[in-house]
Amino acid sequence: MKVPMLDLVGEYRELRAEIEPAVGRVLASGHYILGQEVARLEAEVARYVGVPHAVAVASGTDALILGLRAAGIGSGDEVVTPAFTFIAAAEAITHVGARPVFADIDPLTYNMDPASLEAALTPGTRAVIAVHLFGQSAEIAEIRAICKDRRLVLIEDCAQAIGADYDGVRVGGWGALGCFSFYPTKNLGACGDGGLVTTRDAALAERLRMLRHHGSRVAYQHEIVGYNSRLDELQAAILLTKVAHLDRFNAARRAHAAAYRKALTGAPIGLPREHGRGTHVYHVYCVRAARRDAVREALAARGIASGIYYPIPLHKQAAYEREFGNVQLPHSEQAAREVLALPIYPQLDEARIGLVCEAVRSAL
């Protein structure tokens, strides 16, 4: 029995009766860009997150870039973000002309350590991108307090954590801006790229709408230099069918995580930790092993997929190593050597979880 990292085909089969009519509705309408499907999705995600405004864009990376631009971050500014995450946060900072500064992580949750954040601040710091990694909120209340005290813009990278919360407030509702990805593998995934930005600030929302559409509010009148970053109607219609199932799918992920925890407790392996201040939605189920690569090879030999998120921290990536390679971020560096993601997705079944756990124990 093979076990894939995720099963997008299985998800499609489960939702096919809803997805196909939604696609047909868009095709029959002849309206494919910035129509009612996008408007409905924005309203639904804003309601779900608990904020008044949501602006759909072409990708999660664009959400970060446009969010920084809307907040006025640019040349000469510094933006702090964790080193142990996907490169999109750092890329977005670089693309708007600012300078990324990397903070270390809490080794138990993999999210940015507030103490390391404070140590990374300088007089040039203008913003912080707090990443909610693997499906669990960062210590966002403490991070927000630091930003408020230093008058910094707080941007949340919620790409892996839609539906997660901290003290009852969902991610995307804490900062000035919340940036989401709808990449197909995400907990709420499109059939292509897609992203969205949430905010409580009407002026920021209006600027985001202009930025995504060539700096325009009125056709062929361009007030600022913008982008072509619009979520299309087909993707919005598909996402609308899926968002109704998001809480159910997240609950299934949490149930699978509990099954893993029960079966692997006592094994010589590090299991994910929940900080207890909110709901973890397990976009990734990440364990730690000193001999990670040997464990991964043993799983692969039995047809069990696994992943390494992430093998190289951002300050050691070739794109940034020249400037930041000498920075010491020990928890990020150790995590990169030890983390291993096991399969987790809503359609995973008990038999496959049992097979994975038996193979992990055998490999150890």
Q: Are strands 153-157 and 125-131 parallel, antiparallel or unpaired?
A: parallel
**Tell me, what's the pLDDT at 1?**
87
**Tell me, what's the pLDDT at 239?**
98
Q: Are strands 221-222 and 216-218 parallel, antiparallel or unpaired?
A: antiparallel
Long-range pairs, 311-319, Cβ under 8 A, ≥24: 311/336, 312/336, 313/83, 313/84, 313/102, 314/81, 314/82, 314/83, 314/84, 314/85, 314/87, 314/90, 314/100, 314/102, 315/83, 315/102, 317/87, 319/87, 319/90
pLDDT digits (tens, 9 = 90+) for 237-292: 999 999 999 999 999 999 999 999 999 999 999 999 999 999 999 999 999 999 99
pLDDT digits (tens, 9 = 90+) for 126-163: 999 999 999 999 999 999 999 999 999 999 999 999 99
Domain ranges of the chain: 8-103+110-243, 246-363
CA pair distance 286, 307, nearest whole angstrom: 9
**Tokens standing for 91?**
């890329």
CATH for 246-363, options being 1.10.10.10, 3.90.1150.10, 3.80.30.20, 3.30.390.10: 3.90.1150.10
CATH for 8-103+110-243, options being 1.20.1240.10, 2.160.10.10, 3.40.640.10, 3.40.190.10: 3.40.640.10
pLDDT digits (tens, 9 = 90+) for 34-76: 999 999 999 999 999 999 999 999 999 999 999 999 999 999 9
**pLDDT over 90 (residue 228):** yes
The mean predicted confidence, pLDDT, of the chain is 97
Tell me the residue ranges of DSSP E strands in 51-139.
Answer: 53-57, 78-82, 99-103, 125-131
CA pair distance 285, 299, nearest whole angstrom: 15
Q: Longest C-alpha distance within the chain, in Å?
A: 64
Alpha helices in the chain (DSSP H): 8-29, 36-49, 60-70, 88-95, 114-120, 140-150, 202-212, 233-243, 246-264, 292-301, 318-324, 330-338, 350-363
70: nearest Cα among 159, 174, 176: 176
Q: Can 8-103+110-243 and 246-363 be said to share one CATH topology?
A: no
**Tokens standing for 227?**
């982008």
